[in-house]
Amino acid sequence: IGAGEGKINYRLRDAVFSRQRYWGEPFPVYYKNGLPQMIDKKHLPLTLPEVEKYLPTESGEPPLGRANEWAWDTQQNAVVENGKIDHETVFPLELNTMPGWAGSSWYMFRYMDPQNEESLAGDEAMRYWENVDLYIGGSEHATGHLLYSRFWVKFLNDRGIVPVEEPFKKLINQGMILGESAFVHRKEGENTLITATEIDGVKTQPIHVDVSLVNTSNELDIEGFKVWRPEFKDASFVTDSEGVFKVTREVEKMSKSKYNVVNPDDICDQYGADTLRMYEMFLGPLEQAKPWSTSGLSGVHSFLKKLWRLYHSGADESFKVSAEAPSKTSLKILHKTIKKVADDIENFSFNTSVSTFMIAVNELTAEKCSSRDILEPLAILIAPYAPHIAEELWSKLGNSDSITTAPYPVFDAVHLKESTKEYPISFNGKMRFMLELSLDLSKAEIETAVMAHEKTQYYLDGRTPKKVIVVPGKIVNIVG
């Protein structure tokens, strides 16, 4: 009817602010004649009492119902024993506690000035630090902590308590690492489990199985499964013609309930912590969900071995870093890497940083680079990604302090500037050969160099060209 107008919907959920559990901030509330009364803020903080168990009472009260000292004396303005409750000057305290987001909605401001006893934080501290520069958290928090943190901060700003309107400058929702779950299939209505190759046409119920009981060929350890799930110790197992029982696989969220969790301790024992760390970054963009594959670890592990060999040589792996001056090519590789990794860190593109390191190590290996001027800054660059091997290399380079104290390498664009160009030399538009020439040459100098080349004379075969087209930095075309 032409009377509509725009309106902001903050999509706030119903805020149930009480919890029937022990941990959480206690409410500064006591009950007089069944009505809630607030404890004056000058008598705060109110701290949680000691309890024998963190479980609800037998009568269904929250855990604070187990406390022996959880009453408020209005004359002493202090917590006293429950036995002193007389409903005249001593009253029972609230048994519920506040939710987690009662503190998580504003605690970042408290970090700025944690000893302040007069206010949430001092004005000077809050104006200096302002809001959180970067918040990294799962998207599952969007309608919980994150939503209410925004609400609280806007409220606190309206009240003049904090100087910012938003709690976070930048938010990144990291993707989940997905696991490959394993399933056995039980025939409906029977205590019979059927191998994956025989389930077609049979009504079955898939049951999660611990991936540690399945090998890389998807074969189930039947005896181990019976120990793990005793209710199936008398079950019938229908195997294939070779007596093998196989499971089916499915990519899902990695979680304990799906029994598809990979123990990082096992990975570290076999491959080392640096391999695990770099592989997690190499899996893909930070924001995307990424399927885990233990077989992919070997590629990153091989790269770290190659990195180690760059600093060592021979069967005895003797340290080979020297004081020789670096080549122009090596300097170009290093500074190209410095720039790319710095850009990737700013953009949280850690997976492409790992790719950049792999390319750099391959190129420096091909260059047979052993210059300290190249390999020392390379170790610093890779330290945030592979801290253990970087620290070891740093020590072998003769440094006594930790690599974490070293100045970060500075990018110098001079080393990326090309001094030569490989020109495609064409005859009547058809490219015949490539010729490397200095980029400092003029048009006339380029033409002279090309015409004097033996391959040019070969293709001309004694003819005089009608004209020579020179585009500096791009092509040379000989016509006629």
Question: What is the rounded distance in angstroms from the CA atom of residue 346 to the CA atom of residue 352?
Answer: 12
Q: Name the nearest CA neighbour of 284 among 271, 272, 296.
A: 296
Q: Name the nearest CA neighbour of 386 among 273, 292, 231.
A: 273
The 10s digit of each residue's pLDDT in 309-361 is 999 987 778 999 999 999 999 999 999 999 999 999 999 999 999 999 999 99
Own/partner pairs, 251-255, CB within 8 angstroms, 24+ separation: 251/178, 251/179, 251/180, 251/181, 251/291, 252/178, 252/179, 252/181, 253/176, 253/178, 253/179, 254/176, 254/177, 254/178, 254/179, 254/292, 255/179
Residue found under tokens 């001027």? 373
- Looking at the chain, the domain(s) classified CATH 1.10.730.10 span 298-414
Residue type, 394: W
Q: Quick check: pTM over 0.75?
A: no
- Give the list of residues 6+ apart from residue 472 with CB closer than 8 angstroms, or none: 439, 441, 442, 443, 446
Please return the burial class of 268, using the count of CB atoms within 10 Å of its CB with bins 0-12, 13-18 and 19+.
Answer: middle
Question: What is the rounded distance in angstroms from the CA atom of residue 250 to the CA atom of residue 261?
Answer: 13
Residue ranges of the chain whose pLDDT lies below 70: 1, 12
Reported CATH class of domain 420-479: alpha beta
Q: Name the nearest CA neighbour of 336 among 272, 442, 418.
A: 418
Q: Give the torsion sign (CA, 251, 252, 254, 259).
A: negative
Name the DSSP letter for residue 241: T
The 10s digit of each residue's pLDDT in 349-387 is 999 999 999 999 999 999 999 999 999 999 999 999 999
**Rg, C-alpha atoms of the chain:** 35
Taking CA atoms, 25 is separated from 1, 47, 76, 326, in Å, by 50, 8, 22, 61
Instruction: Tell me the CB-side half-sphere exposure of residue 42, using CA atoms within 13 A.
Output: 2
> What residues pair up with 106 in beta bridges, in sequence order?
none
- Looking at the chain, the domain(s) classified CATH 3.10.20.590 span 420-479
Question: What is the rounded distance in angstroms from the CA atom of residue 51 to the CA atom of residue 29?
Answer: 19
As a CATH number, domain 298-414 is 1.10.730.10
Classified as helix, coil or strand, 132 is strand
Amino acid 1: pLDDT: 66
Question: What is the rounded distance in angstroms from the CA atom of residue 257 to the CA atom of residue 252?
Answer: 11
- Give the list of residues 6+ apart from residue 212 with CB closer than 8 angstroms, or none: none
Question: What is the rounded distance in angstroms from the CA atom of residue 279 to the CA atom of residue 284?
Answer: 9
Q: Name the nearest CA neighbour of 92 among 111, 109, 71.
A: 71
Token output for 128:
């200096």
- Give the list of residues 6+ apart from residue 344 with CB closer than 8 angstroms, or none: 350, 352, 353, 356
> What residues pair up with 2 in beta bridges, in sequence order?
none
The secondary structure of 45-72 as a DSSP string is PPPPPP-S-SSPPTTS--GGGG-SS-EE
Q: State the CB neighbour count (10 A cutoff) for residue 99.
A: 20
